[in-house]
Structure 1
């Protein structure tokens, strides 16, 4: 086998390009107090096998990013000495603690990176937000992965550490806190998406305090709206409605119709769990009206522009009607969402397709439901925790509805073969 095929495969699973992996590894190095020296060429040398055993700090960073020993990434120590994976001066467990805490302790004790106090300016903030854009793109391709959650936490640590490395205006400091809150909110969403709800709750507690220090109502909206989604996925509609109401009362939701629309649409999805069809229709009507009033040219955060549009509104309507048991309406919204989804929204497309299959099955349309469910690629989106859970529920419902049907037999054979021979 030529080169490091294991690392290549793990990068593909996580959605990393060579440049993106270099950036994330550098983020971990900087969060631990070291200089980020990994380049695209460094990663290329790892992949080709030219570098078979990276520097110990780089090995520790790779372990933090991929959440596994570096020997499971296709690297082998020279001479077969596996004890060299974690030298005494840089133990892996310490780095993971630093990454997980996102540098809160470092912020209090950090010394300037270049000896003297430096001035932190808008260019530093923009560099952080450029990394946030990369993270958002990775999330929309794959979503839910622990690596995305880890990357986001590491980058939040980098943002907070920056606070202790120099002087800055109050506005710039607020922007840095907002950037740190943005990263943690992405870690929170990755945990929600991956059904790691305890981790999501911890991220929420931290993100909400950082957002409050930033004074930025746009990131506060994202965090409280995520909290509403967290409680919705946990089956706690009362808490979900309360959290989403906090988001909907923020100044940005009153000022910008696009934020207002998202708040109403997510409220509709939550109302579906309560069985209140009238409230669902009302909330969706408000969401559609607000979306039509939103100016597409207005400046908005990258996370909002990256995902919320008519396709996402249709998807949230689909979730609401599916929860209500109105399968015909759910199917209609599913088809509209799939027709409008942007090509890069691979994770969302898989989730929407799984919901479409559920809505078709709910109407007794076994053959189209089966075809829809089997159209979801098994790798990588079919491995997404939410997709896996929905397809598991799909199979259970199919077996209950038609235990002796040939469609049930086909589905059971398909899932068995998929598990045995993953693509």
Structure 2
């Protein structure tokens, strides 16, 4: 019997630049979630589907295919034995109903992604996974029927996931990619009509503009986020908006506005109800994070002793939040920098050493490069400097000696 190439599956993979091995790996992860046992698909399995040698995968693989692609298997060119094949990309039978169960599934995966980001920082893997989940949320929009509420939720999820990709890319200083994710995030957040999602997008836009050396644009983006209705509904958002604004005022040299914004941030946080239901991406923010962002704002102003006190408070509070691994590492580097600027070389180097080498990537590595550059500038001949340089050579193939933006 002549084989018919599965063009629908081939087209789906081509649109996403996905290889047979990558699809097989994703399917196996979903099978493991569904059954508790690893999947057995390989690149050869996918090639047999593409060639038409296998026209109807195993049940668990069919379910995994639907979860990965967001498309029923008969819309991916598969047919039961004896059934008439569907035209590529054309669904057989009634259109699928997309509902809140699909939203809940993607929301759970987003929560896992946010947790991974807090543990590991902005790795390329986190960025890629976030972008892939955003595509899945958008693909669900094309499946068939859904209520207005569900469509809004899917746009909000897609925007949030694109924003996670933006954050991961900017965290890893992949700034061209970050700007592409920002463009998509802004559009999707607008389509969602969700002010909390829009708040996150504009907050991350401000951080990206700061990295790009555009402090006026950073402050403008932060002001957009601060003007959204979610700040009036929930003081936690208002607190985060105010402390971010403080950092941007500091970059522009406005000391009074910086300190005023820090005060507003603390007042708002004191009024926030910690038990209100909130999306997973903002659950990181609490007093420890306000202290950490205050360190950055006061360091920009050169208030090193006050910044050091805030860094100590941030680290003490983070002991109650063991999941915030990345934030703890950054707090350690910021603390080291405040001590270095006050001439306390030994404790500064000790706190920098407390960051494990496995965390020397992304923004954490950027901060360590700044610390190293400043240490060499302030005390080039000190024994602490020589010891730190030797340590860096031991743990990193590329010495942290280039001069990035300090804060």
Q: Same fold (TM over 0.5)?
A: yes
Task: Report the TM-score, using the length of structure 2 for normalisation.
Answer: 0.78
Counterpart secondary structure, 2:136: helix
1: CA distance between counterparts of 2:115 and 2:164? 11
Determine whether 1:295 maps to 2:273.
yes
What is the CA-CA distance between 1:113 and the residue it aligns to?
6.3
CA spacing shift, 1:167–1:112, aligned 2, 3 Å: farther
Instruction: From 187, 198, 202, give the equivalent of 2:176.
Output: 198
Instruction: From 296, 299, 311, give the equivalent of 1:322.
Output: 299
What is the CA-CA distance between 1:235 and the residue it aligns to?
2.3
- How many residue pairs get aligned? The number is 344
Determine whether 1:368 maps to 2:356.
no
Identify the residue that residue 353 of structure 1 maps to in structure 2. 332
Report Cα offsets for 1:143-171 as digits up to 9, x if no partner: 11011110011111111111111201111
Determine whether 1:405 maps to 2:382.
yes
2: CA distance between counterparts of 1:120 and 1:28? 27
Instruction: From 32, 38, 50, give the equivalent of 1:40.
Output: 32
CA spacing shift, 1:126–1:289, aligned 2, 3 Å: same
Q: Give yes or no for contact 2:121–2:362 (8 Å, CA) kept in 1.
A: no
Identify the residue that residue 368 of structure 2 maps to in structure 1. 391
CA spacing shift, 1:367–1:35, aligned 2, 3 Å: closer
Counterpart secondary structure, 1:250: coil
Q: What is the root-mean-square deviation of aligned Cα atoms in Å? A: 3.1
Counterpart secondary structure, 1:333: helix
Larger radius of gyration: 2
What is the CA-CA distance between 1:401 and the residue it aligns to?
1.2
Q: Which has the higher contact order (CA 8 A, sep 6+)?
A: 1
Task: Report the TM-score, using the length of structure 1 for normalisation.
Answer: 0.75
Determine whether 1:54 maps to 2:33.
no
CA spacing shift, 1:267–1:40, aligned 2, 3 Å: same
| Over 6 Å off, 4+ runs | 31-35, 41-44
Identify the residue that residue 263 of structure 1 maps to in structure 2. 241
Identify the residue that residue 66 of structure 1 maps to in structure 2. none
Determine whether 1:174 maps to 2:155.
no
1: CA distance between counterparts of 2:88 and 2:186? 23
CA spacing shift, 1:56–1:353, aligned 2, 3 Å: farther
Instruction: From 260, 279, 283, give the equivalent of 1:282.
Output: 260
Unaligned runs of 5+ in 2: 1-17, 53-68, 76-86, 400-407
